[in-house]
Amino acid sequence: MFHQAFVAHPHTAGETYLQHQRVAFSFAGTLLLAGLAAAIHAVVPCLCETTASRAVARLHARMAARQHGPVRAPNVLTA
């Protein structure tokens, strides 16, 4: 049970539990800040105009670099 809950998934990413935790927290922090920027933009549209979208693009690039094989962003215009 312990192995399945804490070790199996990080192992698929080639990481230990603590390495995976550090990466996941860094993604979470970036997403929290991007969400805050999006909320600010919702209230005052002239502020943080591209902050959230740039953060998401950086995270996508980081995640794509960590994947095995090509990862493509969905085409939101045709989806």
Residue 75: inside a domain, yes or no? no
Is 73 among the domain residues?
no
Alpha carbon separation from 8 to 3, 43, 74 (Å, rounded):
6, 42, 28
- Residues 18-71 pLDDT 10s: 999 999 999 999 999 999 999 999 999 999 999 999 999 999 999 888 775 444
Residue 36 inside a domain? The answer is yes
More confident call, 30 vs 3: 30
In a domain, 71, yes or no: no
Number of domains, the chain: 1
Token pair for 18: 């603590």
- Domain membership of residue 21 (yes or no) is yes
Q: Which of 18, 56, 21 is nearest to 35 (CA)?
A: 56
Domain region containing 8:
2-66
On whether residue 40 sits in a domain, the answer given is yes
